[in-house]
């Protein structure tokens, strides 16, 4: 006669079953083996990997900016889009870009921001430790959630933050037009 064991909270919640009591149960192999650990207590666990001089450069960079600048690809801006009572507001961090290097265009229900971030200093790839900043052309198109009045749109750049304000079109008003007869 077997006794019925009460299932744990986790087993009841997930429907899992404890297999250790079954006949075919085999002890699992540990995923982590402390004997294979090479880090000692004297070494910081966050130590940087040791690299030889040949491994530095564009291949060590996260953004691979030097290759992006030359291969014709564009970076993509990160944006925030929100609404106020009267406007749709688009914000983007665009540090290092002059206002004259930005092109903001509104076409039907889409806003496109294009520009270029120029690196004014030339550094050889072998001299970089990290190369994460994006240098080169970038663009971003945003599909607008509501109709706007493009003629009254305003864009400003302050402290590296581009702010575009697009007044909402009042779609609740009905416009009547005169029908002409010939």
Per-chain mean pLDDT for the chain: 75
pLDDT band, very low/low/confident/very high, at 35 (cuts 50, 70, 90): low
Taking 50 as the threshold, does the pLDDT of residue 54 lie above it? no
pLDDT of 79: 93
Alpha-carbon gap, residue 49 to 18, rounded angstroms: 42
Instruction: Give the number of other CB atoms < 10 A from CB of residue 145.
Output: 11
The pLDDT tens digits for 133-169 are 888 899 999 999 999 999 999 999 999 999 999 999 8
pLDDT of 33: 55
pLDDT of 119: 84
The pLDDT tens digits for 72-112 are 677 888 899 999 999 999 999 988 888 988 999 998 789 99
Taking 60 as the threshold, does the pLDDT of residue 62 lie above it? no
Contact 105, 112 (CB under 8 A): yes
What pTM was estimated for this model as a whole?
A: 0.55
Burial class (CB within 10 angstroms; exposed 0-12, middle 13-18, buried 19+) of 150: middle
Contacts of 147 (CB under 8 A, 6+ apart): 109, 168, 169, 171
pLDDT band, very low/low/confident/very high, at 46 (cuts 50, 70, 90): very low
- Higher pLDDT, residue 55 or 133: 133
pLDDT of 162: 94
3-state SS, one letter per residue, for 128-158: CCCCCCCCEEEEEEEECCCCECHHHCEEEEE
CATH number of 53-167: 2.60.40.790
């Amino acid at each position: 006669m077997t006794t019925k064991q009460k299932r744990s909270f986790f087993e009841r919640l997930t429907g899992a079953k404890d297999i250790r009591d079954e006949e075919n149960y085999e002890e699992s192999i540990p995923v982590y083996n402390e004997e294979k650990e090479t880090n000692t207590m004297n070494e910081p666990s966050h130590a940087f990997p040791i690299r030889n001089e040949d491994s530095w450069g564009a291949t060590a960079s996260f953004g691979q900016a030097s290759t992006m600048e030359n291969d014709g690809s564009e970076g993509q801006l990160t944006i925030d889009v929100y609404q106020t009572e009267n406007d749709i507001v688009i914000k983007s961090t665009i540090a290092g870009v002059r206002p004259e290097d930005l092109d903001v265009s509104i076409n039907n229900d889409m806003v496109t921001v294009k520009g270029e971030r120029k690196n004014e200093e030339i550094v050889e790839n072998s001299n970089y430790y990290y190369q994460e900043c994006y240098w080169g052309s970038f663009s971003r198109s945003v599909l607008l959630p509501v109709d706007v009045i493009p003629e009254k749109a305003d864009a400003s750049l302050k402290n590296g933050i581009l702010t575009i304000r697009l007044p909402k079109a009042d779609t609740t008003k009905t416009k009547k037009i005169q029908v002409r007869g010939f």
